[in-house]
């Protein structure tokens, strides 16, 4: 099976290696985003805010700081900013300003590098097309200086290279687009959860400490 795949890959010509490089980059981005979204940002915002509100409502700011912990996800960083400023005794207007300033840095981390998957899908498709053109050009240009008995074999080789490159480009492009759509939806849900959690905590702190 491995030898068959290797033979299929080699028959596709030099553009197969370029598309393989695109695939490697796409896999790296997918893996990084999956880890970031599902592990690093895997925080239940509603439950976290509920626990923080209960601790702050009991005037136990130390417990609230322990609850928020030292996580580095955008949601946790925003909520920690609000809790730290509340604990410092600053007015609510300064708490809100601090959260807004932090949001400018943290919110863009959610869609970061995600658009690369769409780019890789387009690049893989275009490279497959370029490999197709290269294979066909090789086929027809080689016919002029080849004996009649070998023309059919040369033509078949060039067309095979063209089709294999096109197929490999699509094989890479399709999963990239599926992953992009899937991860983009996850990113939208995380952004929504972040907004809801932050607004709920700020509304609660507004009641506890008016501006």
State the Cα angle at 55 between 46 and 201, rounded to 5°: 40
Confidence of residue 127 (pLDDT cuts 50, 70, 90): very high
CB 113, CB 32: distance < 8 Å = yes
Cα–Cα distance measured from residue 72 to residue 163, given in angstroms and rounded to the nearest whole number: 47
Cα–Cα distance measured from residue 124 to residue 117, given in angstroms and rounded to the nearest whole number: 10
106 vs 2: which has the higher pLDDT? 106
What pTM value is reported for the model? 0.84
Cα–Cα distance measured from residue 169 to residue 92, given in angstroms and rounded to the nearest whole number: 54
138-167 pLDDT, tens per residue?
777 666 666 666 666 777 777 778 888 889
Please say if the pLDDT value at position 200 is more than 80: yes
Q: Chain-centre distance of CA 162, in angstroms?
A: 31
């Amino acid at each position: 099976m491995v030898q068959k795949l290797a033979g299929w890959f080699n028959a596709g010509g030099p553009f197969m290696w370029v598309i393989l490089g695109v695939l490697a980059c796409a896999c790296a981005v997918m893996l990084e985003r999956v880890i970031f979204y599902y592990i690093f940002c895997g925080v239940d915002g509603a439950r976290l805010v509920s626990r923080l509100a209960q601790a702050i409502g009991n005037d136990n700011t130390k417990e609230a700081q322990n609850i928020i912990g030292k996580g580095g996800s955008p949601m946790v960083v925003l909520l920690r900013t609000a809790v730290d400023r509340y604990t410092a005794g600053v007015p609510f207007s300064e708490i809100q300003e601090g959260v807004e300033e932090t949001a400018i840095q943290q919110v863009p981390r959610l869609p970061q590098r995600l658009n690369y998957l769409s780019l890789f899908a387009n690049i893989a498709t275009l490279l497959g097309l370029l490999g197709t053109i290269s294979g066909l050009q090789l086929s027809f240009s080689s016919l002029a200086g080849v004996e009649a008995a070998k023309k059919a074999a040369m033509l078949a080789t060039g067309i095979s290279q063209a089709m294999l490159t096109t197929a490999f480009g699509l094989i890479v492009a399709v999963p990239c687009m599926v992953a992009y759509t899937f991860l983009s939806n996850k990113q939208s849900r995380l952004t929504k959860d972040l907004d809801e959690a932050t607004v709920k905590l700020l509304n609660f702190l507004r009641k506890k400490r008016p501006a």
